[in-house]
Chains A and B, each alone.
Chain A
Amino acid sequence: MRKIGLLVAGVAALGMALGQANVIKIATQSPLSGPQAALGEQIKLGAELAIEEAKAKFKALGFDLVLVPYDDQANPDVGVANANRIINDPDILGVVGHLNSGVAIPSSEVYARVNLVMVSPANTNPRVTDRKLPNVNRICGRDDVQGPVGAEYAFNNLKVKNVFVIHDKTAYGQGLAEEFKKRLEALGGKAVAFVGTEETSNFVPIINQIRGARPVPELIYFGGIYSQIGPFVKQLRERGVKTRVMGGDGLDSSEFVRLAGKENAAGTFYTTVAGPVSAFPKAKAVAQRFKQKYGKDLEGFGIYAYDSANVLLAALEAAIKAAGNKKPTREQVAQAVRQVKMEGLTGTIEFDDKGDNKKAKYFVMQVASTGNWADNKLIRVIEMAAPGAR
């Protein structure tokens, strides 16, 4: 048995030796297929662009930079299985992702086993960072701010008291809707109903509930992803219900307009943690390069993924220098990420001890009537620190 121990040690040494090859990989994990692919693809492409642009710089440092995209299918099982593969590629020193908090939470536990750092552009559920894992960071805001921001806008600015709250029965959607409801009721408003649905095509029962709800709701809040809200809004308007609709960052995709129809989507409010290109003057040039390269418009999560990747790259660079121009360990990279202070496209990025961005931005938006997602009206930007862990 001693021999096995020796053999194992030898193998470990060999693995280290192989790992010393000068390749550094960054993985992305996001849904690239299925219902939420439109958002997931932005994450992959945003990170890809950042990495393409940094290749020359890392070449000069003596490293080949490679992106490995993984498809988590918005499913925790797939995410965890991928994570188990990722941690075994010694060249992967960082992960950009995920889209869904429900996938990020279990997957990040796997990364934590080997101190592999994750920088998330999109996971808004408070528990992502409230677990205080040293390897988990996010540059976007949190649902316990995003929900209240929406509630305050609805109550104070739209002068809405009675809201019909719907959610999609996922960790993300339900969490967001609960935060919204909590703040709304604290302000003195009322959630007329709080309904969850997994339905994807037939929203008629819920629309009937809305029509029959008393007191008459002045706003419908839907915590969910565009793939559900789109058809919902279409059926709602077709049935002549004119009540205003509000959603969260899951709605923030041009696919929403396609599914709901231009005229039905127009005027829909949404809060997001990933602002549009128009909100960030610095993002304009990147958006052009993005469009040139991929033939698609850069949207909110693409910008945040670009920044997330750049946070990782900055940390890598620092860690490489600290390690004396050698390939840093995963732990060193994870520590370096927490030290990063940089000006990204989205503003200053700096992490607190939980891994939340010290000051994250929250946006209230309204869908334009032109059908062009980039034309959406930016109503207000709120910059706020993450609330303390409960």
Chain B
Amino acid sequence: MNALALLLSLAYLGLVFLAPGALSNLFGLLALGATAFLRLSPNGRTLNLALLTLGFTLGLVRSGNTLGLIGLVGILVALTTLPRIPGWIRALLGLAILLLSVPMAGFANTFIFELGIQIGIYAAMALGLNVVVGMAGLLDLGYAAFFAVGAYTWAIFGSEQAKNFMQGSFPLPGEYMYLFMGIAVVTTALTGLFIGLPALRLRGDYLAIVTLGLGEVVRILANNLDHPINFTNGPQGITPVQRPPIDWFRELMGGLGVRLDQATDYQLFFYLLVLLMIGLVVLANVNLANSRFGRAWVAIREDEVAARSMGIPLLPTKLLAFMTGAAFSGVMGVIFAAQRTFVSPESFTLLASITILGMVILGGMGSIPGAILGAAALTILNLDVLKTFSEFVRTSLPQIPSQVDPAKYERLVFGLILVLMMIFRPEGLIPERRHKAEMEEA
């Protein structure tokens, strides 16, 4: 078995060296599958994973084929879930993938950066929603509302928009973005309080429908608050939104021997910023999960009545979960606005909320690596796989009518994922231990 898997990995490495592209990467995914599912010795497995990391990186750098990114995500999943791999290897390989492989691939194909940033933003939001849905068991269908509040918080003051209702020199310089990441925590947490105070008194499915309604209300407000006083510029959206100046970053990277140009400088910067944010969010998540509050949330999720009789104050505890989740989303909203330099209400529809929910469900409610995997899987699916498939169909099989174009059917795909997961694997791809037990017991 060991020899077979090693052979596959080596064969892939050779293949990707000679002919990088979609086919060799598919082979690589096969080799990864073999590594993960065959019975291998821990050392063999580690070696294979290292070889495959090298292979996928090489493939990405040489061809820019995004299947390689899926491979890298796969390796990250393998590193977090497979047993008996030494901790330092997990850490080393994981860091190498995030800090070396992905940026190198990004220079070959800046779309990889874009994917990385989007995955990162959604992963952080999925982690936020994970606190609300996964830990506390409160179904929030209007989560994109907080994302919107965060994005608008910076967009309004980081552009000339604020001049419409305030004295002062706007746009604020880009450095203020860091400050506004903090401010967004406050504004979104307050929005969470505001929405949660009435909504959280309600039971499960009522809460779902009310949050859905309030999510729509926030979108409608963003779309309509251009009169009587112009706060949000309505459907026109706000552009350009300032980005922080990154001369220091260019110099730093130049010192490391990495030359940046117009197409890559901000992309790399935001990629690293998002990685940092995810690191912080994960840290916060882990600490919360093990804190008094985390245990209270789980207690409420398991049995509200029992939790109350144990002396857990229901409303404040739920509110705290709600506000924490909102704050994560708000910070990412600021980054989203700055990275895109454009904000409009169309980004914050129900579909966005459901997509984030889908990420949490797919990964496994309550599970931290699950939420990240879910974000990666759905973002790659949405931005890359479906689109690549569409391009392929449109250019290579033009006889297929354009109505069947796969990129149009993201809702269908999300719907299928939600339904199939609920029927066959409600605990998610990487289940949280406690949750898994609960689902099995049921």
Contact = CB atoms under 8 A, between A and B. Distances in A.
Are A and B in direct contact (Cβ within 8 Å)? yes
B107 interface: yes
Contacts of A32: 402, 405
Contacts of A33: 402-403, 405, 408
Given A5-B258, A71-B405, A105 B239 contact: yes
B170 interface: no
A293 interface: no
B344 A76 contact: yes
Interface in A6-38: 6-9, 11-12, 14-15, 32-34
A88 B111 contact: yes
B399 interface: no
A5 B257 contact: yes
A19 to B, nearest CB: 11
A113 to B, nearest CB: 5
A80 B340 contact: yes
Contacts of B391: 68
A76 B62 contact: no
Interface string A121-137: 00001010001000000
Interface stretch (A170-178, A264-272, A282-290, A377-385): A170-178
Given A12-B107, A32-B402, A87-B110, A7 B235 contact: no
Contact of A4 (B239, B258, B344, B347): B258
Contacts of B383: 81
Contact of A109 (B107, B240, B405): B240
A240 to B, nearest CB: 30
A102 B107 contact: no
Interface string B331-374: 00000000011101011000000000000000000000000000
B100 A4 contact: yes
A75 B382 CA distance: 14
B400 to A, nearest CB: 13
Contacts of B395: 66, 68
A186 B340 CA distance: 37
B234 A102 contact: no
Nearest to B390: A71
Nearest to A84: B114
Contacts of A243: none
B235 A169 contact: yes
A6 B259 CA distance: 10
Contacts of B342: 76, 80, 105-106, 109
B236 A85 contact: no
Contacts of B405: 32-33, 71
B387 A171 contact: no
Contacts of B119: none
Contacts of A71: 390, 405, 407-408
B235 A2 contact: no
Majority secondary structure of chain B interface residues (helix, strand, loop or mixed): helix
B22 interface: no
B64 interface: yes
A109 B223 contact: no
A32 B64 CA distance: 27
Contacts of B239: 105-106, 109, 127
Contacts of B100: 4
B263 interface: yes
Interface string A191-205: 000001010000000
B262 interface: yes
A102 B235 contact: yes
Given A87-B110, A106-B340, A169-B223, A174 B236 contact: yes
Contact of B234 (A6, A75, A174): A174
Contacts of B390: 71
Contacts of B344: 76, 102, 106, 171
A60 interface: no
B61 interface: yes
Contacts of B240: 109, 131
Contacts of B64: 15, 88
A171 B235 contact: yes
Given A68-B395, A76-B344, A88-B110, A114 B259 contact: no
Interface string B95-110: 0000010001001111
Nearest to B262: A113
A8 B258 contact: yes
Interface in A93-134: 102, 105-106, 109, 113-114, 125, 127, 131
A169 to B, nearest CB: 5
A87 B223 CA distance: 30
Nearest to A105: B239
A84 B110 CA distance: 8
Contacts of B442: none
B341 A109 contact: yes
A389 interface: no
B114 to A, nearest CB: 4
A80 B235 CA distance: 17
A77 interface: yes
A196 B225 CA distance: 12
A73 interface: yes
A1 B258 contact: yes
A102 B259 contact: no
A84 B115 CA distance: 9
A276 to B, nearest CB: 25
B166 interface: no
Nearest to A125: B236
Contact of B237 (A9, A15, A34, A171): A171
Contacts of A12: 107
B394 interface: yes
Interface string A365-388: 000000000000000000000000
A88 B237 contact: no
B224 interface: yes
B18 interface: no
Contacts of A7: 61, 104
The 9 closest A-B pairs by CB, nearest first: A5-B257, A106-B342, A84-B114, A88-B111, A2-B257, A171-B236, A33-B408, A1-B256, A1-B257
27 contacts: A4-B104, A4-B256, A7-B61, A8-B258, A9-B259, A11-B107, A11-B108, A33-B408, A68-B394, A69-B394, A71-B405, A71-B408, A82-B387, A85-B111, A85-B387, A88-B110, A105-B239, A106-B237, A106-B340, A109-B341, A113-B263, A114-B262, A127-B239, A131-B240, A170-B235, A174-B234, A196-B224
Given A69-B394, A169-B235, A171-B236, 4 more contacts: A2-B257, A5-B256, A8-B104, A169-B234
